[in-house]
Chain A
């Protein structure tokens, strides 16, 4: 009967025949439950589109985002050759938005790599080891949490100098404490469970228990939290850009574009609105995706 089995049946089996089969089957079942969530799928499509646009920017952008044409400045929406109009220096807004997607993705990817990993490390070690280690690590976390996010990021950028890398670093430094808190809370419930006791009885050391047994259970809730936080991170990056401390002109970062358009917002509203709409769409997409992922990944919701 094995030959007549379709791929779908093979993936949905209750009796996997190999390690790889079991893994693929688990992933496919997660995908099925994710796919049934329409809003999350919309979010996923928007983000896929964003990635494609960022990669193909030189092919699809109608103009060079840096070329100025002062004779054609502040052209309105729908102008011949400039669908979304031009900004105060006559640069095509659509092209700048398309190239700006690259910067947004760059920021998001870097922050997503730094902040949750740092938080996971600090949180699980504090939660599992306990005692003095826990007290010291959590007080450090509290100190970072006590600062308003944007103010702390401002201070870092001011100290390190303005620029996109420093903005990412500053945002990461302010973003990790909540992840550490989540990871620690999860670790505290996990570490007293029977399956951790059981692996201790096999002689497993703390390093193995934290990396192989606690991390896999913390990561799913962290992924959800990161996707939900992505909107905030994009907004923080845009905020730094808006204040002139993130990406520097003439870089087409969306927050910086809003900042430039602010001067003309009453007479030429589209200059600030178009990048605002882009930020809004991507933030919304990340929120929708995060919501869908929570349904799939949260071990407490399922089973």
Chain B
């Protein structure tokens, strides 16, 4: 599904150059849910931005569904890969209603039955019709994140990149969103690449995970191994102890 091989991502030029990701490699299988864990600034979100083309300076190999990615992303790519952002308060246009957000997305992907699809998407993320014409300031954080998830689902992608989708939400709402994501994955056969600094969230959502530190992947392990506290790298052990 997704193959990342020796990925380097950096920002700035020459003396200002900052290497955010150094030599990252991992493989995600079809239908798998893969977690990226690490503290702030360890480069986990940057990997997602490099995959989607939002971080333009990178080297290495990225393969999505057998297609080698170059530096230019095509429309077909966005029909395969979509992303949900961390902060639902920043990821929705303040002057666009839910209907406009979803309608424009569907229009851009060339769907014709936009009205029916907007209705369906809102039902799928558990919002329902009464939210259709509201503006973001009339929604709570959890409701906004549901709209953002609906937007990501609109082009019917196969791979969903989740950038700490619950870290900006209340604990009770976090559980709702995580359950929604788990249900959607089961019903649509999605593949997830989920970034989080919360080991319990990753433990709940993912099959395997990679631990990142200072832009490098220090260890890839299964969630079962994580549960059995069998992490081998000292930093993963440290992270695990901190979250217990």
Interface residues of A in 12-56 (CB under 8 A from B): 14-19, 21-22, 26
Q: How far is the CA of A15 from the CA of B138 in the complex (A)?
A: 9
* Inter-chain contacts of B86 with A (CB < 8 A): 194
Q: Check if B94 sits within 8 Å of A212, measured CB to CB.
A: no
Which of A72-80, A124-132, A199-207 contacts the other chain? A199-207
B90 touches which of A15, A18, A193, A200 (Cβ 8 Å): A193
Judged by a CB distance under 8 angstroms, whether A213 is at the interface is yes
Residues of B within 8 A of A264 (CB): none
Known: A19-B133, A202-B155. A299 touches B95 (CB 8 A): yes
Is A216 among interface residues, defined by CB-CB distance under 8 A?
A: yes
B44 at the interface (CB under 8 A from A): no
Residue contact A203 to B108, C-beta cutoff 8 Å: yes
Let me know if B137 and A213 touch, CB within 8 A.
no
CB of B93 within 8 A of CB of A203, answer: no
Chain A, residue nearest B148 (CB): A198
Q: Does chain B have a CB within 8 A of A217?
A: yes
Across-interface contacts of A194 in B (CB, < 8 A) = 85-87, 90-91
Chain A residue at minimal CB-CB distance from B49: A197
Question: Is B82 at the interface (CB under 8 A from chain A)?
Answer: yes
Closest to B151 in A: A198
Quick check: A203 and B75 within 8 Å, CB to CB?
yes
Complex contact B104–A201 (CB within 8 A): no
Which of A159-214 touch B at CB < 8 Å? 193-195, 197-204, 212-213
Assess the A203–B78 pair: CB atoms within 8 A.
yes
Count of chain A residues with a beta carbon within 8 Å of a chain B beta carbon: 27
Contacts A14-B134, A17-B133; is A202 near B108 (CB within 8 Å)?
A: yes
Asked if A204 meets B133 with Cβ closer than 8 Å, knowing A14-B138, A217-B95, the reply is no
Chain A residues contacting B97 (CB-CB under 8 Å) are 19, 22
A303 within 8 A of B: yes
Determine the main DSSP class of B at the interface with A: loop
Given A197-B54, A197-B85, A202-B108, are A15 and B134 neighbors across the interface (CB < 8 Å)? yes
Instruction: Please indicate which of the listed interface residues A14, A21, A197 has the most CB atoms of chain B within 10 Å of its own CB.
Output: A197
Instruction: Find the B residue at minimum CB distance from A216.
Output: B95
* Chain B, residue nearest A196 (CB): B93
By a CB distance below 8 angstroms, the chain A residues around B53 are: 200
Closest chain A CB from B81 CB (angstroms): 8
Contact B54 A15 (CB under 8 A): no
In contact, A202 and B90 (Cβ under 8 angstroms): no
Interface centre among B131, B133, B134, B151 (most CB of A within 10 A): B133
Docked pose: A198 CA to B137 CA in angstroms = 18
Kindly provide the distance from the CB of B55 to the nearest chain A CB, expressed in whole angstroms.
Answer: 10
Q: Which of B87, B94, B108, B131 is within 8 Å of A204, CB to CB?
A: B108
List B residues 84-105 near A (Cβ within 8 Å): 85-87, 90-97, 99, 104-105
Report the minimal beta-carbon distance from B104 to chain A, rounded to whole angstroms.
7
Residue of B95, B137, B151 with highest tally of chain A CB at under 10 A: B95
Measured CB to CB, the nearest residue on chain B to A26 is B135
Q: How far is the CA of A14 from the CA of B97 in the complex (A)?
A: 12
**Chain A residue at smallest Cβ distance from B54:** A197
> 11 more A-B contacts (CB under 8 A) besides A194-B90, A198-B151, A213-B96?
A19-B133, A22-B135, A26-B135, A194-B91, A197-B85, A199-B93, A202-B78, A202-B108, A202-B155, A216-B95, A299-B95
B-to-A contact residues, CB < 8 Å = 52-54, 75, 78, 82-83, 85-87, 90-97, 99, 104-105, 108-109, 130-131, 133-135, 137-138, 148, 151, 154-155
Binding site for B on A (CB under 8 A): 14-19, 21-22, 26, 193-195, 197-204, 212-213, 216-217, 299, 302-303
17 A-B pairs within 8 Å (CB atoms) are namely A14-B138, A15-B131, A15-B134, A16-B134, A22-B97, A22-B133, A194-B85, A195-B93, A198-B85, A198-B92, A201-B78, A201-B83, A202-B154, A202-B155, A203-B108, A213-B93, A299-B95
**Which 4 pairs from chain A and chain B are nearest by CB?**
A22-B133, A194-B91, A16-B133, A194-B90
